[in-house]
């Protein structure tokens, strides 16, 4: 399902009824529920958040009925009588923050919970403050559910951060029912003051006494108060009206918003009334039409101007203000926005999606800068299940060329259930559609599966129709995917080779032609189907050409990591029995071609190497080393190709099939020698088709490839993904974050799958330069779970969805999150199973463990490898008796299916029988401002067997002492037994090519160390 928005150019006309204020409704219903007698609240709000408050109050025994447009509430005189053991706040933050404390006014213990994803919302600061007021409660992890004992609070002096007004309101709503005076003091920056002013005004309206300091940081509330029943009317909701105002502001219009009858007001009227002032200052032509009973906006040509706004008082309006700023002349600045990022989603980062449509938004420090543009282009967008983000992006899309789609299309119902009706009433077409979002601006093409009636072309290559779905896609070879692209779109970009001095662009037609030439060369060198072709090349177009050429002749791609030296290259050549090796003449300070010939001279008897083809690193003719007597023949790449005439008939006669082995990769293990993993074509194509379906990638995407193509991440989820998807791949030969940032924008890259270090470096480059990757939508972080602090920062700084994932060379991706997932699941987990894959966690006896328990992580997938080359013993050991692949990782899988890798089985630290949660400690330490990188490993100990040693890479200009580390862990209430007992500073952590820390090297360093201090046993 998605929300489809069509851009328009016509005049927007009509009238809409502004709904009643949900802010007033929450407070009025809650206060009325505690009153002596009956209250009548006129002007029903049908916002789902308000419905959650009504449902929770009914669960506490409150009688709430409806009489026409009026809520009739029978107050319980300050004492709830729960009808069940648990009540739910649904997904309403206001309901949750207000009612956790008020649940203590029940006559028995009650648990406050919420919807599944909502239970992950942390409420620690509020819980601590409530405990200081004497509320007795229990929470396992400062999240829902919270068990609250039915006992009146004692009151007293309590402090609370001013981050969210609902926290403060929750305390002052409870304070009148305490047994003694209460003083609530706000610390830090005070945000959302108008919402507090509304709470106080409503409390006074219900007869409660509360004294407030001039700066609104100190509240004194007498104890033992009684609430009186009232009769009140809810005002119009400015927060909902804002979307109608914005739609009218962006187009020629004549729009009436009935219900708003004044342009003057304050928090008691509505806490977001200041939005009207901001909109007027931007040039929205608003006037009160008293005869029609509403606010009218009439204009022939929109003319908006930039503004500078402090968002502390109207944080919820940031998304729609961003939309208005996008079409305003000049640069608008929205300041003090940090707390807006703690709402249903990171709203500031979410609105950076406007950049993918042609917007110019920059997020830095505590401000969002929006430069006006003339227009936008339709795109696929994510609402992050946030009602305000959804509606704001939808309104912006109405001014875009083409069509836009948004995920979680029904999120608007949370706060503004009539939004869709209102927009369509104004002739702004929006509709909820079924199926995949597809590509923006055009219908998603429907591709027919390959049927038995399809006639094969020469060489076994089948013509159209193109397959759809992972299973059908996997029945097509990669050479056929290339031919289809070359025939359908020969002039479109296939590969961009980003060099230090220039960018080389290759079209699909050119790529197919080069592949056939190199494939003919391989045949001339004697390569036959099933034979391994070894090559050690950086990320450049020749890598792609050679890989597809090998597959064209039915040979096996055997790429070697570029920084491998003679020892590792010799290992690969011996195990693969490759007769052809392709290398560059130079790579950084090394001479790979010379090293290959030295290997042949030293170990020729152990090698089958017959040909070394040398590619010039800098273009032109290669520097050819002299081959030893009796050694392999040496060829210059360019000269060899110039002397080759394409023999297409010979190529087509070979007819490779999807079942043939296509890839031999040697794992760069962190614990043992490399193993040769073999994968057939069908697995590789199926794997990328599964990811494409999971993430909704389409023909408008472009794939950025900074990961080594010689590793599975770059080979499969860079090169193969782009080929099957039929979109450009942007290759980065030498890693340089600043150059990467330039190439991302130059070539409009939208997707990347890479290791965590690439993400960290890119974030630093953006922070230092101020330039952002304007089109990047998704960053899938692999190799190791992204530190939570880095992921949150990356989403904010890059304006892209950071998705956690799990995969191995043996299995391809097994689990992956998606941009639509809740932030803490999207980057705080390793994703959930892709369609067609099964995940499980078992104990050491093979019993499957329940959700949430840690154990051995195993998976079953249609993309599991064929086996380890020449090692049937290791292949057998990799699988359980019932056929599941043993990953060697420890993990948990929660009730919603999200995977969290907690460590390697071999990385477990067993301290006197107590297993230390290594991943958790690393995550915590990574969050310390003095830490740039960290790994925790075991060091031997005679008494306890093992203790923990933390290897820390200090942040620039910072230093973390051992005592400071211990204090930090103490502040985070980490059990003392889990604290590292030694701290070692290190310049850089040793990592393999996909970013995994080589902990065996760190364990070797720690083997001779002793504790700085011993923790309690």
What's the pLDDT tens digit per position in 346-401? Answer: 888 899 999 999 999 999 878 999 999 999 999 999 998 889 999 999 999 999 99
* pLDDT attached to residue 362: 94
Q: Are 308 and 335 in contact (CB under 8 A)?
A: yes
Using DSSP, state whether 904 is helix, strand or coil. strand
Q: Looking at 843-956, which runs of residues are DSSP E strands?
A: 855-860, 867-868, 885-893, 899-904, 909-911, 914-916, 931-941, 945-954
Tell me the pLDDT band of 213, cut-offs 50, 70 and 90: very high
The closest alpha carbon to 298, from 310, 289, 290, 307, belongs to 289
Of the candidates 378, 406, 433, which is a domain's last residue?
433
Over range 808-823, report the average pLDDT. Answer: 91
Confirm whether 964 is domain-assigned: yes
Tens of pLDDT, residue by residue over 214-240, are 999 999 999 999 999 999 999 999 999
The domain boundary, picked from 410, 433, 456, lies at 433
Q: Which pLDDT value is given to residue 1017?
A: 47
**Domain assignment present for 936:** yes
Indicate if the pLDDT at residue 448 is higher than 50: no
CA 965, CA 543: separation in Å to the nearest integer?
A: 46
pLDDT at 305: 97
Q: Is 750 helix (H, G, I), strand (E, B) or coil?
A: coil
Q: Which structure tokens are listed for 485?
A: 């692209």
How does residue 468 score in pLDDT terms, banded at 50, 70 and 90?
A: low
Question: CATH number of the domain that 164 lies in?
Answer: 3.65.10.10
The CB density around residue 911, as the number of other CB atoms within 10 Å, is 20
Question: CB-hemisphere CA count at 13 Å for 26?
Answer: 27
500 to 376, 504, 638: CA distances (angstroms): 32, 11, 21
- Residue whose entry in the numeric block shows the structure tokens 């008082």: 313
Quote the DSSP letter at residue 719.
Answer: I
Asked whether residue 784 is domain-assigned, the answer is no
Is 27 assigned to a binding site? yes
Q: Which residues contact 291 (CB under 8 A, 6 or more apart)?
A: none
Does the annotation flag 748 for ligand binding?
A: no
Is 93 assigned a ligand-binding role in the annotation?
Answer: yes
Over 60: is that where the pLDDT of 467 sits? no
Distances (CA, A) of 609 to 335, 573, 614: 64, 8, 14
- Which whole-number Å values give the CA distances from 105 to 35, 73, 144, in the listed order? 13, 17, 19
Residue 669 has pLDDT above 70, yes or no: no
Do 211 and 62 lie in one domain? The reply is yes
In this model, does residue 460 exceed pLDDT 50?
no
**What is the DSSP-derived secondary structure letter of residue 178?**
S
pLDDT in tens, 626-639: 887 788 999 999 99
Residue 355 lies in a domain: yes
Residues 73 and 124 in one domain: yes
Of 96-100, 469-473, 787-791, 913-917, which has the strongest mean pLDDT?
96-100
* Contact status, residue 97 vs residue 123, Cβ threshold 8 Å: yes
Q: Quick one: 406 and 368 in the same domain?
A: yes
Per-residue pLDDT tens over the stretch 845-865? 999 999 999 999 999 999 999
Residue 782 is predicted with a pLDDT of: 85
pLDDT surpassing 70 at residue 838: yes
- By percentage, how much of the chain surpasses pLDDT 90? 64
Query: What average pLDDT score do residues 6-31 get?
Result: 94
Q: Residue 872: which residues within 8 A CB-CB, separation 6 or more?
A: none
Give the tokens for residue 60: 């506490």
Q: pLDDT-derived band of residue 445, with 50, 70 and 90 as boundaries?
A: very low
In a shared domain, residues 170 and 316: no
Q: Above pLDDT 70, what percent of the chain? A: 94
84 is in an annotated binding site: no
* Structure confidence by residue, pLDDT tens digits, 689-715: 999 999 989 888 999 999 999 999 999
Mean pLDDT of the chain: 89
Residue 435 has pLDDT above 60, yes or no: no
Q: Is 343 annotated as a binding residue?
A: yes
Co-location of 12 and 74 in the same domain? no
Residue 310 has pLDDT above 70, yes or no: yes
- Phi/psi at 496 (5° precision): -115, 120
pLDDT grade for 999, boundaries at 50, 70 and 90 = confident
| Residue 97 scores a pLDDT above 60 | yes
Beta strands 945-954 and 931-941 are: antiparallel
Residue 331 covered by a domain = yes
Does residue 443 have a pLDDT over 50?
no
Per the CB < 8 A criterion, the answer to whether 948 and 979 are in contact is: yes
Contact 134, 182 (CB under 8 A): no
State whether 216 and 346 are in the same domain.
Answer: no
Q: Is 388 annotated as a binding residue?
A: yes
pLDDT at 271: 83
**Would the pLDDT of 756 be above 90?**
no
What does the pLDDT look like over 20-44, one tens digit per residue? 999 999 999 999 999 999 999 998 8
Confidence at residue 458, expressed as pLDDT on a 0 to 100 scale: 33
Q: Which two tokens stand for residue 297?
A: 């906006």
Higher pLDDT residue, 244 or 908?
A: 244
pLDDT band at 735; cut points 50, 70, 90: confident
Q: How far apart are CA 392 and CA 394, in angstroms?
A: 5
316 belongs to the catalytic site: yes
The pLDDT value given to residue 366: 86
**Which member of 316, 346, 497, 761 is catalytic?**
316
Confidence of residue 902 (pLDDT cuts 50, 70, 90): confident
- Give domain status of residue 744, yes or no: no
Whether 37 is in a domain gets the answer: yes
Within 10 A of 840 (CB to CB), how many other CB atoms are there? Answer: 17
Structure-model confidence comparison of residues 291 and 499, the more confident one = 291
User: Has residue 763 been placed in a domain?
Assistant: no
Tell me whether residue 121 is annotated as binding. Answer: yes
Does 160 share its domain with 188? yes
316 in a labelled binding site: yes
Same domain membership, residue 111 and residue 253: no
Q: Are residues 216 and 352 in the same domain?
A: no
Considering 233, 257, 282, which residue would you say is the last residue of a domain? Answer: 233
Please check whether residues 244 and 255 belong to one and the same domain: yes
88-117 b/e (C-beta count within 10 Å ≥ 16 → b): bbbbbbbbbbbbbbbbbbbeebbbbbbeee
Position 267 confidence tier, pLDDT thresholds 50, 70, 90: low
Same domain, 28 and 9: no
Higher pLDDT, 622 or 775: 775
User: Does 623 or 719 have the greater pLDDT score?
Assistant: 719
Q: Residue 949's domain spans which residues?
A: 908-1006
Q: Which pLDDT belongs to residue 673?
A: 63
Mean pLDDT over 633-661 rounds to 92
Q: pLDDT value at position 450?
A: 31
Q: What are phi and psi of 900, to 5 degrees?
A: -135, 115
pLDDT number for residue 785: 60
Looking up residue 988, the CATH number of its domain turns out to be 3.30.300.30
- Over 90: is that where the pLDDT of 49 sits? no
Indicate the helix (H) or strand (E) that contains 791: helix 788-798
Query: Two tokens at 874?
Result: 């290791």
Answer yes or no: do 79 and 160 share one domain. yes
3-class DSSP assignment, residue 663: strand
pLDDT digits (tens, 9 = 90+) for 581-614: 999 998 888 899 999 999 999 888 889 999 999 9
Give the number of domains in the chain.
Answer: 3
CA distance 952 to 925: 9
- β-strand partners of 87: 112
Q: Where are the alpha helices (DSSP H) in 604-668?
A: 637-642, 648-652
Six-digit token pair at 81?
Answer: 């009588």
Give CA–CA dist 437/406, Å, rounded: 7
Per-position b or e across 328-351, b if 16+ CB within 10 A of its CB? beeebbbebbbbbbbbbbbbbbbb
DSSP structural state of residue 412: G
């Amino acid at each position: 399902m998605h929300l489809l928005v069509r851009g328009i150019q016509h005049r927007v006309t009509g009238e809409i009824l502004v709904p009643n204020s949900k802010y007033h409704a929450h407070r009025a219903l809650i206060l009325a529920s505690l009153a002596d007698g009956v209250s009548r609240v006129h002007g029903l709000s049908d916002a789902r958040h308000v419905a959650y408050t009504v449902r929770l109050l009914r669960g506490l025994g409150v009688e709430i009925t409806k009489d026409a447009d009026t809520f009739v509430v029978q107050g319980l005189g300050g004492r709830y009588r729960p009808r069940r053991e648990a009540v739910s706040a649904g997904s309403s933050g206001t309901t949750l923050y207000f009612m956790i404390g008020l649940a203590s006014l029940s006559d028995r213990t009650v648990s406050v919970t919420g919807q599944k994803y909502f239970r992950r919302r942390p409420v620690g600061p509020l819980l601590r403050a409530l405990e200081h007021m004497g509320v007795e409660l229990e929470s396992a992890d400062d999240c829902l559910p919270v068990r609250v004992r039915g006992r009146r609070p004692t009151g007293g002096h309590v402090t609370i951060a001013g981050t969210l007004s609902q926290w403060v309101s929750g305390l002052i709503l409870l304070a009148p029912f305490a047994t003694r005076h209460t003083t609530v003091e706000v610390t830090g920056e005070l945000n959302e003051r108008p919402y507090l002013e509304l709470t106080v005004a409503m409390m006074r309206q219900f007869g409660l006494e509360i004294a407030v300091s001039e700066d609104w940081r100190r509240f004194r509330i007498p104890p033992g108060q009684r609430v009186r029943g009232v009769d009140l009317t809810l005002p119009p909701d400015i927060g909902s009206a804002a979307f109608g105002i914005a739609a009218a502001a962006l187009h020629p219009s004549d729009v009436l918003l009935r219900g708003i009858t004044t342009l003057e007001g304050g928090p008691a009227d509505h806490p977001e009334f200041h939005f009207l002032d901001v909109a007027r200052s931007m040039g929205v032509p608003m006037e009160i039409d008293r005869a029609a009973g509403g606010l009218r906006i009439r204009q022939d040509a929109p003319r908006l101007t930039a503004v500078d706004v402090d968002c502390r008082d109207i944080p919820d309006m940031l998304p729609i203000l961003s939309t208005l700023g996008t079409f305003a002349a000049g640069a608008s600045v929205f300041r003090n926005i940090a707390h807006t990022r703690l709402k249903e989603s990171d709203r500031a980062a979410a609105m950076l999606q406007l950049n993918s449509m042609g917007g110019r938004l920059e997020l830095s420090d505590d401000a969002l800068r929006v430069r006006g543009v003339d227009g936008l282009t339709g795109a696929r967008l994510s609402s992050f299940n946030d009602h305000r983000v959804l509606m704001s992006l939808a309104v912006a899309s109405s001014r875009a060329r083409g069509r836009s789609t948004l995920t979680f299309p029904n999120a608007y119902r949370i706060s503004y259930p009539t939004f869709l009706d209102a927009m369509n009433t104004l002739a702004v077409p929006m509709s909820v559609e079924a199926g995949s979002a597809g590509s923006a601006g055009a219908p998603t093409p429907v591709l027919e599966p390959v049927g038995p009636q399809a006639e094969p072309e020469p060489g076994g290559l089948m013509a159209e129709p193109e397959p759809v779905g992972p299973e059908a896609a996997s029945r097509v070879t990669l050479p056929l995917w290339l031919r289809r692209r070359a025939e359908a779109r020969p002039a479109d970009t296939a590969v961009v080779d980003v060099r230090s001095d220039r960018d080389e662009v290759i079209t699909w037609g050119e790529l197919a032609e080069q592949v056939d030439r190199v494939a003919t060369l391989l045949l001339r060198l004697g390569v036959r189907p099933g034979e391994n072709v070894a090559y050690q090349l950086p990320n450049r177009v020749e890598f792609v050409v050679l890989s597809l050429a090998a597959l064209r002749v039915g040979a096996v791609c055997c790429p070697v990591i570029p920084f491998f030296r003679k020892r590792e290259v010799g290992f690969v050549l011996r195990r693969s029995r490759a007769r052809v090796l392709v290398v560059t003449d130079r790579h950084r300070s090394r001479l790979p071609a010379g090293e290959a010939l030295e290997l042949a001279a030293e170990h020729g008897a152990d090698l089958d190497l017959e040909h070394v083809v040398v590619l010039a690193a800098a273009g032109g003719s290669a520097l050819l080393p002299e081959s030893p007597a009796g050694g392999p023949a040496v060829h210059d790449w360019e000269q060899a190709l110039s002397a080759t005439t394409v023999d297409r008939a010979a190529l087509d006669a070979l007819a490779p099939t999807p079942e043939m082995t296509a890839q031999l990769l040697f794992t760069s293990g962190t614990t043992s020698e490399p193993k040769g993993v073999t994968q057939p074509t069908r697995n590789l194509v199926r794997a990328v088709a599964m990811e494409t379906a999971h993430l909704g990638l389409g023909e408008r995407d472009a794939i950025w490839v900074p990961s080594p193509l010689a590793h599975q991440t770059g080979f499969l989820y860079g090169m193969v993904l782009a080929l099957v998807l039929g979109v450009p791949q942007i290759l980065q030969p030498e890693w340089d974050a600043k150059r990467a940032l330039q190439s991302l924008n130059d070539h409009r890259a939208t997707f990347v799958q890479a290791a965590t270090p690439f993400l960290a470096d890119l974030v630093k480059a953006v922070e230092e330069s101020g330039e952002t990757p304007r089109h990047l939508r998704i960053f899938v972080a692999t190799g190791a779970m992204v530190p939570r602090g880095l992921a949150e920062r990356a989403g904010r700084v890059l304006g892209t969805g950071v998705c956690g994932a799990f995969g191995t060379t043996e299995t391809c991706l097994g689990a992956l999150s998606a941009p639509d997932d809740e932030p803490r699941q999207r980057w705080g987990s390793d994703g959930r199973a892709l369609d067609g894959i099964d995940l499980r966690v078992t104990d050491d006896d093979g019993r499957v463990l329940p959700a949430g328990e840690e154990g051995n992580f195993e998976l079953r997938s249609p993309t599991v490898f064929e086996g380890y080359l020449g090692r049937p013993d290791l292949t057998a050991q990799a699988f359980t008796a019932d056929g599941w692949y043993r990953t060697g990782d420890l993990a948990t899988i929660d009730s919603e299916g999200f995977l969290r890798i907690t460590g390697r089985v071999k990385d477990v630290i067993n301290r006197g029988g107590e297993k230390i949660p290594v991943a958790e400690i690393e995550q915590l330490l990574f969050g310390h401002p003095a830490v740039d990188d960290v790994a925790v490993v075991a060091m031997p100990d005679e008494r306890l067997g093992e203790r923990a040693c933390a290897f820390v890479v200090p942040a620039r200009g910072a230093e973390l002492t051992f005592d400071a580390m211990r204090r930090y862990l103490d502040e985070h209430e980490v059990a003392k037994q889990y604290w590292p007992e030694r701290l070692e500073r290190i310049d850089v952590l040793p990592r393999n090519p996909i970013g995994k820390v080589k902990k065996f090297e760190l364990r070797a360093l720690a083997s001779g160390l002793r504790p700085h201090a011993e923790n309690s046993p």
